Structure 1
């Protein structure tokens, strides 16, 4: 039996048991009910060497307020967004922090505010930085030129993404194809996820100027649909795309994202095995994860858990299938929001304990730097 099929059979069994055991509503990042945990495949998905190992975290920066996203500039410095202050920060690998500026037009509230950040693949030439934020009437993607003059001359390139108190999505990233991918949420209006005329509950794929990217399945900005609230995207070394997704009462997900596919929400949560919908690569109970940021490094996906308060490692095999998830840092730093692979190969992980659902410590919120290594073959 193939590993992916084994995952689906296990998930289907867990889904049936959860349906028998759970009741009532819920949702959001911290209020889902918890079914029995889902077993996953083999411990070692890496062809015999074993999965990558984490070193000891060190605190790079403290005293931040909901650092939501991190993107690296070519020289090694990072741009960091703060969701609720609307500040865009520059952080060096030595931990020096400077404020580039407050982003005009941001209206924070609930789970909305200044969220995603991405650096142009041609930054050395065009100096362009991209941001996703909640404005007065919508969520939107904007870009501006980083030229030492702060955040100014901000130009919207994608507007009309639905906004709400919850489920605003917000992650943006350039893929290996140099197109910009935009993760949106259905803002608790579940029908939007299946509505092809809405930008909510989707992953969008756009050209650097915001127009629909060449090769999109419908000629629009839509790349995939049927998402509840995507807040993490990553690509492996073969260009395969993965995304994290918040579940409601039962299952959080990592999905393998492929052109034009429908990931089921709200018709399916977790694995449904239904024609027309794509099942997740793996699932967790919502208490174990509530996954936000996602990175790929050294043969594994790394997912930051908010409610789960841990960093999940998901080893991948040569076919892109998932091995058994491994939990790191469980309960040690509280809610984890962003995880990004740095140019030196380490992981940068941010905490999110000031987001209204955490218990902030004196150093929160923080940026942690964690070395990653692979066992010798």
Structure 2
């Protein structure tokens, strides 16, 4: 599968990865003027059928973030191992994966949640890779130079994101405005989600140098708040940002992200559009706020959403505890009935991403200390949409 630069960028555009400089997202989260006026409206999401067409790679250690290079190969984060491998889907079986580099300072362990997490390749410069990593002090974003022989020099772009035993967040995606969007967790300290000065329990919007994005609602890095643990981010064809996050014990969520939106945690788990009442609705240093309700909720036993992708007007959500892949039809800001695929067939599912050939790459997560290891785990599965 040889993919030229134009084909690669076209595939990534559906994820909102192309940078369109000079545009600022409005309060719906979409980018006015980012799409040409001749662009046809996105088709409404309808039923899709999914089929596993084969295994791209196997024998991986908790594959987490994935970033595609222009030639069709992919960089894949190994969470607990603290490393990044490069995967060539066109190579001979058994030779598709090789070590690409180690991320120093990474703290990951079986049964935990931290380590080397999200990856995002600069859409304007494929030699620059952004890595979300858990350290002993904090969660941080580190930018690495991508060389032919592996990872090169690095610099810290953003540090000080709270860390803890769990709820690290870690997913990243470049938006159509050229900014980097970052999902974070509240690191098991609930109050951080409602503190707009904390970077925990948020979706951040930053420049490539780690500065707050111009037009951010609170004059800092925060784009939305009131989140528990965001591990899935994706842009739809109309530049709207969607996110999935873990609930505590009742329901998990799929949210349409609004600029400055408060998604309710810990006051709400699930539906959260009730009017504010009492002091608990007043954030630190702020004023009473209303809350944004999820578009979809699932019982936690059927989901635990770690990754998501959007293709063919459909959101795909990978479920850890649910051991399945959810598809959710999208129709503008509305959603259809979710459908579950591969229930129990491959174990815990961690990451889903649209590949340059328009298939989905779907990772298992059975070596993370919380699943039952199967032959070949952990694997990247190639899923085709029919």
Scaled by the length of structure 1, what TM-score is found? Answer: 0.84
Q: Secondary structure at the match of 1:253?
A: strand
Contact 1:334/1:359 (CA < 8 Å) preserved in 2?
yes
Counterpart-to-counterpart distance in 1, 2:173 and 2:197: 23
Separation in 1, partners of 2:244, 2:217: 22
| 1:40 alignment counterpart | none
- After TM superposition, give the deviation of residue 362 of structure 1 in Å: 1.9
* Alignment partner of 1:292 is 2:314: no
Q: Which runs of 4 or more aligned residues in structure 1 lie more than 3 Å from their structure 2 counterparts after TM superposition?
A: none
Pick from 56, 78, 86 the counterpart of residue 60 of structure 1: 56
Q: Matched residues in 1 for 2:90 and 2:269: separation? A: 42
Task: Describe how 1:129-140 pairs up with structure 2 within 5 A.
Answer: 129-140=129-140
Kindly indicate whether the alpha-carbon contact (under 8 Å) linking 1:52 and 1:299 is maintained by their aligned counterparts in 2: no
Secondary structure class of the residue paired with 2:253:
strand
Q: How many residues align?
A: 325
1:145 aligns with 2:141: no
Cα deviation code 1:228-274 (max 9, x no counterpart): 00000001100011001100111100000111100000000000331
Structure 2 Cα separation of the partners of residues 142 and 297 of structure 1: 28
- Taking structure 2 as the reference length, the TM-score comes to 0.82
| Structure 2 unpaired stretches of 5+ | 1-41, 276-289
Name the counterpart of 2:184.
184
RMSD (CA atoms): 1.4
Contact 1:128 1:143 survives alignment (8 Å): yes
Gaps of at least 5 residues in structure 1 are 1-44
Question: Aligned with 1:255: secondary structure?
Answer: strand
| Structure-2 separation of matches of 1:117 and 1:143 | 10
Number of the residue aligned with 1:355: 368
Deviations 1:69-89 (A, max 9, x none): 111112211110000001101
Does residue 372 of the first structure (1) align with residue 374 of the second (2)?
no
Task: Say if 2:231 and 2:307, in contact at 8 Å, map to a contact too.
Answer: yes
- Contact in 1 for aligned 2:234/2:308 (Cα 8 Å): yes
Q: 1:299 Cα shift?
A: 1.4
Distance 1:247 1:148 in 2: 41
Q: Is the 8 A contact 2:272 2:294 kept in 1?
A: no
**How many Å apart are 1:46 and its aligned residue?**
6.5
Matched residue of 1:154: which SS?
Answer: strand
Partner in structure 2 of residue 120 of structure 1? 122
C-alpha separation in 1, matches of 2:138 and 2:373: 30
